[in-house]
Amino acid sequence: MAPQLTGAPGSAAAAGGAAAVKPQFHHYHHHHRLPPRHHHTAPASFLSKLAFWSVCSLSLLLAFILLSPSSAPAPRAAPDSPRRSLHASPSPAASWGGAAWEKKVRASARVRRPRGHSVLVTGAAGFVGCHAAAALRRRGDGVLGLDNFNDYYDTALKRGRAVLLARSGVYVVDGDIADSELLAKLFDVVPFTHVLHLAAQAGVRHALVDPMSYVRANVAGLVALLEAARAANPQPAIVWASSSSVYGLNSHVPFSEHDRTDRPASLYAATKKAGEEIAHVYNHIYGLSLTALRFFTVYGPWGRPDMAYFFFTRDILAGRPITVYESAGGSHQTTISRDFTYIDDIVKGCVAALDTAGRSTGSGGKKRGPAPFRTYNLGNTSPVPVTQLVDLLEKLLKVKAVRKVVKMPRNGDVPYTHANVSLAQRELGYRPSTDLQTGLKKFVRWYLEYYHPDLAQKQKQHAGSNGKGSRGQDGSSSSAR
């Protein structure tokens, strides 16, 4: 079942970043005795240069520390910009602890079905997180969300997702996954059976602007979570989001879990690959049950504004040109292709991974036996050229796009993605069923109702005049999802 996220526009979030660790400087003073009556200018010149460059190096290092995102706020982008620096959004509800807070945490995590799970969902106010949390809650699992509501993209959209989850009884704690004290408290208050770890710094191109945010969220944040989980009693089984980006420069298609992943094309991909290696360490040493899911270009209602289908829709409606990349393919140019995967299919894969995750085997921070360690592709298996995506959006929006076709820059993007999901099909029962045209219909309907309700109403009236009633063109209800 797809998550039924309905409601008026509000605000929500995704991803946690780890606080930067300030290096400690140790100064050692050495006293050198010079032979009497012998003064050499060369050593003096060398020492002067050494002192000069030492001061310069220390100055540059201090400047880097002071100007890094963890110490000084970066300039905020315009309200309609999908890319921003990774800073937690200030909120009066950011504090945690106390009897009332613990009561809300326990109530949200309480299981409501026989043999149900108690799941901590990190990045719960993010795109995949909110849909997954809603699906788990609907079937009776206990669900507690965690999110820091960072401003990588519009925080109002993130807060809106959190509002919808709250209406279904899911409480989203406003906090960071790198906050070890908060994580320890959550595992102390609730004996989670599972963790669905979706918090991360997403996006390939943003790494060119704020690289440290990827290290803080995707590496340090993951380690903080794994540390809390291995010390918990009982230890939870962990399912977490890796990425199809780990395949990097791999040219073997479709991408299989057995293909090499040691040639990342972006920092984002490198941090996700590092996460997979770190997860193996915690599985090997501490007996944590770990399942990595490599998502392939997820799209759908309540999606991320930094994704092409989302900002193409925005710019087409505004009459602004859209940039379509093409890649050199031998003696000719080829458009970029992506294995677009609808959100409902991704959620089904996440839930199946949780349901089939074996137990962690550690106790008291020590491994008592072998624990499951799994990796799966979750894609649609049907790559589509980006030009075809634009064609579909033009048809659904009834607006002609102004296209600007350019050669793909070296910004970390890859020319194509194509998932081999045979392993997930065999072991998880994963079978994606939503084609791009059907999924985009649902996304466009949600987008218009959320951002352009007047235009959405006109389209409904037009559809009604053609004998299709007030329901969506795909026959489904037009509520936001």
Q: Which residues are catalytic?
A: 268
Angle between helices 436-451 and 386-397 (to 10 degrees): 50
Rounded to 5°, angle at Cα 276 from 272 and 279: 130
HEC profile for the chain?
A: CCCCCCCCCCEECCCCCCCCCCCCCCCCCCCCCCCCCCCCHHHHHHHHHHHHHHHHHHHHHHHHHHHCCCCCCCCCCCCCCCCCCCCECCCCCCCCCCHHHHHHHHHHHCCCCCCCCEEEEECCCCHHHHHHHHHHHHCCCEEEEEECCECCCCHHHHHHHHHHHHHCCCEEEECCCCCHHHHHHHHHHCCCCEEEECCCCCCCHHHHCCHHHHHHHHHHHHHHHHHHHHHCCCCCEEEEECCHHHHCCCCCCCECCCCCCCCCCCHHHHHHHHHHHHHHHHHHHHCCCEEEEEECCEECCCCCCCCHHHHHHHHHHHCCCEEEEEEEECCEEEECEECCEEHHHHHHHHHHHHHHCCCCCEECCEECCCCCEEEEEECCCCCEEHHHHHHHHHHHHCCCCCEEEEECCCCCCCCECCECCHHHHHHHCCCCCCCHHHHHHHHHHHHHHHHCHHHHHHHHHHHHHCCCCCCCCCCCCCCCC
3-state SS string over 268-292? HHHHHHHHHHHHHHHHHHHCCCEEE
Q: 145: closest CA among 169, 163, 171, 109?
A: 171
Q: Which amino acid is at 236?
A: P
